[in-house]
Amino acid sequence: MTTSTQTPAAPTTAVRRRRRGSAGRFQGGNPVVYAVAFVVVCATLGPVVYGVLGGFRSNAQLAESPASLPDPWVVSNYTGVVTNPDFWQYTLNSVVVAVVTTALVVVFGVMAAYPLARYAFKGREVLFMVFVAGLLFPATVAVVPLFILLTQNFGLGNTWWGVALPQAAFALPMTVVILRPFLQALPKELEEAAQLDGTSRIGFFWRILLPLSGPGMVTVGVLAFVGSWNAYLLPLLLLQGDMKTLPLGVADFSSEHSSDTAGVFAFTTLAMIPALVFFLAMQKRIVNGLQGAVKG
| Residues in region 122-151 near another protein by CB under 8 A | 122, 124-125, 127-128, 130-131, 134, 136-149
What is the distance in angstroms between the CA of the first residue and the CA of the last residue of the chain? 21
Task: Please tell me whether residue 233 binds another protein under the rule CB under 8 A.
Answer: yes
Q: Which of 91, 99, 108, 157 binds another protein (CB under 8 A)?
A: 108
The answer to whether 193 contacts another protein (rule: CB under 8 A) is no
Which residue stretch of 6-14, 77-85, 95-103, 210-218 sits at the interface with another protein (rule: CB under 8 A)? 6-14
73-81, 83-91, 101-109, 206-214 -> range binding another protein (CB under 8 A): 101-109
Q: Does 241 bind another protein (CB under 8 A)?
A: no
Whole-angstrom Cα distance, residue 248 to residue 260?
18
Closest approach, Cβ 65 to another protein, in A, equals 8
Q: By CB under 8 A, is residue 45 in contact with another protein?
A: yes
How far, in Å, CA of 133 to CA of 141, rounded?
A: 15
- Distance of alpha carbon 73 from alpha carbon 81, whole angstroms: 16
How far is residue 172's CA from residue 221's CA, in Å, rounded to a whole number?
Answer: 11
50 near another protein, judged by CB under 8 A: yes
Q: Which of 116, 209, 220, 223 binds another protein (CB under 8 A)?
A: 116
The yes or no reply on residue 11 touching another protein (CB under 8 A) is yes
Which residues 6+ apart lie within 8 Å of 282 measured at CB? Answer: 218, 222
Please tell me whether residue 290 binds another protein under the rule CB under 8 A: yes
262-281 b/e (C-beta count within 10 Å ≥ 16 → b): bbbbbbbbbbbeebeeebee
Binding of residue 166 to another protein (CB under 8 A): yes
- We find the least distance from the C-beta atom of residue 278 to another protein, in angstroms, to be 9
Rule CB under 8 A: which of 77-96 touch another protein? none
Do you find a cis peptide bond into 72, omega within 30 degrees of 0? yes
Task: Tell me how far, at minimum, the Cβ of 152 lies from another protein, in Å.
Answer: 8
**Does residue 279 belong to the site contacting another protein (CB under 8 A)?**
yes
- Residue 118 sits in the site that holds another protein (CB under 8 A): yes
| CB 161 to another protein: min, Å | 11
Is residue 4 part of the contact set for another protein (CB under 8 A)? yes
Helix 124-134 with 160-184: angle, nearest 10 deg: 130
Nearer to another protein, 21 or 215 (CB): 21
Tell whether residue 117 is a contact of another protein (CB under 8 A). Answer: yes
Q: Does 220 bind another protein (CB under 8 A)?
A: no
Residue 116 CA: distances (Å) to CA of 113, 123, 177: 5, 10, 10
Interface with another protein by CB under 8 A: which range of 69-77, 78-86, 121-129, 208-216?
Answer: 121-129
Binding characters for another protein, 172-191, by CB under 8 A (x = yes): xx--x---xx--xx--x--x
> How far is Cα 215 from Cα 264, in angstroms, rounded to an integer?
38
